[in-house]
Amino acid sequence: MAAESWLIWALIAGMALIAFLTRAVFILPGSHLRLPPTAERVLRYAPAAAIMAIIVPDLALAHGALSISIENPRLVGGLVAFAIAAATRSILATIVGGMLALTLVRQFAG
Amino acid sequence: MQRAQISALREGALASVGLLVGIVPWGIVAGVAMVSAGLTQAQAVAMSLLVFAGTAQLAVLPLLIAKAPLWVMIATALVVNLRYVIYSGVLAPHFEHLPRRWRVLLSYVTVDGVFALFAGRYRPDDGNRHKHWYFLGGSLVMWWAWQISSGVGIFAGAMIPWEWSLEFASTLALIGVLIPLLFDRAVAWGALAAGGVALIAARLPLNLGLLAAIVVGVAVGLAVARLGPRNGEGRD
């Protein structure tokens, strides 16, 4: 289960570099440079696209195969979480509700 | 420190106390999820301290579990963190007169909530010489809250049985982060397209499906913004 140690340390180092550089890119040179509007839009669309592209396969694939079924606990848990997040905007409620739905489906569909 | 600096520091700290409701559960989940994904406690603590970017941390964990290649995980962290490039551009004129070590420090501690408070309160040309203390005060509160709540999650996570599937909490937390972004029409269509492509392309080698999904998502977002009325691309 656990990935190799060097891989995780390399991941941490790479992410630390990325996290610092994306924040420092304009602050550190002290530049007055403004982003062109199109670039700014790309920078806004990309994170939401990436997050959705991580979430959807995690919910809808089971062992690499499409699993659209009320007996797929992750799909049901995820959809419940989407509904709660839209209604409450609370991350805590979203996580608790999604985990509860996951557990219930496992109990009754498993 | 002068009195004005202390008072700006305190104001920033007090203003960001309201953000704690969001960051504390988020930090605990990140802590639990890191340990559930196979990080040792030392690695998880190092990630919280060095990366200090919750969305990127949580986005990478499902990929780590799915055994994605290193470069895909780092590319994903980069894409999720692109919003900081926008923040950096907005903040730069505020901080350009500061010494380099200040600019390094303020870059490292930047988070969404404090950025939003700061950008709503100060103008680049307002001549306020103490506003970086406000930013620092808010950021320090968030930094401590993140480290402590992550630590709680990391050490609690090691005691939680594997069968509870708490690694799924990182996906659920990502859903919580995603929803507010989707209130912009172009962002929402782009994200939906990306989700569809990710599903269709899940079998592509080396997780190229994820990168294809991001490219298509951005293209769809740009197209929707161009076709739709101007108010469809309002800033959030």
| pLDDT cut 90: percent of chain B above it | 61
ipTM of the complex: 0.88
From A80, which residue of chain B is nearest by alpha-carbon distance? Answer: B172
Is the predicted pLDDT of residue B232 greater than 50, yes or no? no
**Which residue type, as a one-letter code, is found at position B213?**
A
**B215, B217, B212, B186: which is closest to B200 by C-alpha?**
B212
Is the predicted pLDDT of residue A110 greater than 80, yes or no? no
Tokens linked to B184: 């912009």
**C-alpha separations of B130 from A14, B9, B16, B40 in Å:** 33, 9, 17, 41
Mean pLDDT is lowest, of B14-23, B186-195, B213-222, for B14-23
From A52, which residue of chain B is nearest by alpha-carbon distance? Answer: B195
From B197, which residue of chain A is nearest by alpha-carbon distance? Answer: A53
Ramachandran sector of residue B38 (left: φ over 0; alpha: ψ -120 to 50; beta: rest): left
Contact A101, A80 (CB under 8 A): yes
Is the predicted pLDDT of residue A14 greater than 60, yes or no? yes
Give the nearest partner residue to A49 out of B51, B93, B213, using CB atoms.
B213
Mutate to test the interface with A, among B108, B142, B179, B210 (most CBs of A within 10 A): B179
| CA distance to partner chain B, nearest, from residue A94 (Å) | 6
- Phi, psi values for residue B235, rounded to 5°: -75, 150
Is the predicted pLDDT of residue B129 greater than 50, yes or no? yes
Q: A65 pairs with which residues across the strands? A: A62
pLDDT reported for residue B207: 67
H-helix segments, chain B: 3-17, 20-36, 41-50, 54-65, 70-80, 82-95, 100-109, 112-121, 131-157, 168-181, 185-200, 208-227
Round to whole Å and give the CA distance between B114 and B136.
9
From B60, which residue of chain A is nearest by alpha-carbon distance? Answer: A54
Is the predicted pLDDT of residue B236 greater than 50, yes or no? no
Convert the pLDDT of each residue in B11-51 to its tens digit. Answer: 999 999 888 877 888 899 899 999 989 999 999 999 999 99
Is the Cβ pair B179, A8 closer than 8 Å? no
Is the predicted pLDDT of residue B210 greater than 70, yes or no? yes
Number of H helices, E strands in chain A: 4, 2
**Which residue type, as a one-letter code, is found at position B185?**
R
**Which residue type, as a one-letter code, is found at position B106?**
L
Query: DSSP class of residue A65?
Result: E
Tokens linked to B81: 């963190």
Tokens linked to B114: 């404090």
Contact list, B124 vs chain A (CB under 8 Å): none
Which strand (E) or helix (H) includes residue A66?
A: strand A65-66
- B11/A4: higher pLDDT: B11
Is the Cβ pair A94, B175 closer than 8 Å? yes
Q: For chain B, what is the mean pLDDT?
A: 89
Contact list, A77 vs chain B (CB under 8 Å): 168, 172
Confidence of residue A2 (pLDDT cuts 50, 70, 90): low
Tokens linked to B29: 């989940």
Whether the CB of A53 is below 8 Å from some CB of chain B: the reply is: yes
| CA distance to partner chain A, nearest, from residue B108 (Å) | 6
Which strand (E) or helix (H) includes residue A62?
A: strand A61-62
Give the nearest partner residue to B84 out of A16, A22, A90, using CB atoms.
A22
Confidence of residue B211 (pLDDT cuts 50, 70, 90): confident
Convert the pLDDT of each residue in A38-94 to its tens digit. Answer: 888 888 899 999 999 989 999 998 887 888 999 999 999 999 999 999 999 888 899
How far, in whole angstroms, is CA A24 from its chain's centroid?
23
Round to whole Å and give the CA distance between B148 and B97.
32
Convert the pLDDT of each residue in B133-190 to its tens digit. Answer: 999 999 999 999 999 999 999 999 878 777 777 778 888 988 988 998 899 999 999 9
Tokens linked to A9: 């340390």
Distance separating the N- and C-terminal Cα atoms of chain B: 36
Provide CB contacts within 8 A for B143, sequence distance 6+. Answer: B52, B109
Contact B206, B214 (CB under 8 A): no
Q: Which residue has the tokens 């195969």?
A: A65
**B52, B57, B49, B50: which is closest to B33 by C-alpha?**
B57
Which strand (E) or helix (H) includes residue A8?
A: helix A5-24
Mutate to test the interface with B, among A31, A59, A76, A91 (most CBs of B within 10 A): A91
Whether the CB of A12 is below 8 Å from some CB of chain B: the reply is: yes
pLDDT reported for residue A36: 84
Whether the CB of A104 is below 8 Å from some CB of chain B: the reply is: no
From A1, which residue of chain B is nearest by alpha-carbon distance? Answer: B38
pLDDT reported for residue B235: 47
**B90, B93, B95, B58: which is closest to B77 by C-alpha?**
B58
| CA distance to partner chain B, nearest, from residue A51 (Å) | 7
pLDDT reported for residue B46: 98
Q: Which residue has the tokens 């520091």?
A: B9
pLDDT reported for residue A79: 97
pTM: 0.83
pLDDT reported for residue B234: 47
| CA distance to partner chain B, nearest, from residue A108 (Å) | 15
Round to whole Å and give the CA distance between B225 and B203.
30
Mutate to test the interface with B, among A95, A103, A106 (most CBs of B within 10 A): A95
Query: DSSP class of residue B130?
Result: S
Mean pLDDT is lowest, of A12-16, B166-170, B223-227, for B166-170
Round to whole Å and give the CA distance between B4 and B25.
33
Confidence of residue B199 (pLDDT cuts 50, 70, 90): very high
